[in-house]
Amino acid sequence: MGKHLLSSFGLLAGTCLLLASCAGKDDNVKGNLVTRNDFEAVLGWGGNADVSVTSEKAHSGKYSVKVGPQNEYGYTYVNTLGNMSTAKTKSITLSAWVWMPNNQQAATLALSVTRSPEQGTSVFYGGIDLTKAVTKYNTWQKVSQTFTMPDSVQSTNQLKCYLWRTATNENVYADDITISVND
């Protein structure tokens, strides 16, 4: 019985070690994963969830974030660069699954870096222009872009990521948003 118990424990420990070594990196994510949100939970995100987090459409789970005639900005991810990486951030990769009804809608998945939470001076602004990136309508489509950060970025700078309605009279949705940093 003692040998069997020891053998079972060894098998369990080996399995746990194998699972832990496999769980570290997602092959589909470029760089170090900072957040992946399907809007089932909203830790790190803020804004007006009553309007922008919806169960109307979802790529995965039950919820997504939307912008449209009733809301210009979607739920916003906010974090300082120093909390996202211990090394200086060279670039940030942003990806999401988006749904647009047609090519007449205009929305941007925006990425903004400011000096600090208190000082809103812009260090970097970029975004995925969904009008150009989306080629299929009334279906979910993955979009992704890597943004090179200026040399002036610092660990105290604040990053924001949000869906922005630039000009749309119908709802546009985003889900499974992923942000990763590249040192």
The pLDDT tens digits of the residues spanning 18-57 come to 323 333 334 455 667 777 767 777 666 776 556 788 899 9
pLDDT score, position 29: 56
Read off φ and ψ for residue 157, nearest 5 degrees: -65, 150
Q: Is residue 20 part of a domain?
A: no
Q: Is residue 42 part of a domain?
A: yes
The CATH number given to whatever domain includes residue 141 is 2.60.120.260
Q: Is residue 22 part of a domain?
A: no
Q: Is residue 8 part of a domain?
A: no
Q: What is the mean pLDDT of the chain?
A: 82
State yes or no: pLDDT of 3 exceeds 70. no
CB neighbours of 29 closer than 8 A, spacing ≥ 6? 36, 93, 178, 180
Q: Is residue 178 part of a domain?
A: yes
Exposure b/e, 56-85, CB count within 10 A at least 16 = b: eebbeeebbbbbbeebbbbbbbebebeebb
pLDDT score, position 48: 59
Q: Is residue 26 part of a domain?
A: no
Element (H, E) at 176: strand 172-182
Residue 47's domain spans which residues? Answer: 31-182
State yes or no: pLDDT of 4 exceeds 50. no
pLDDT score, position 6: 39
State yes or no: pLDDT of 152 exceeds 80. yes
How many structural domains is the chain composed of? 1
Q: Is residue 125 part of a domain?
A: yes
Q: Is residue 7 part of a domain?
A: no
State yes or no: pLDDT of 98 exceeds 80. yes
Q: Residue 167: which pLDDT band, with cuts at 50, 70 and 90?
A: confident
State yes or no: pLDDT of 17 exceeds 90. no
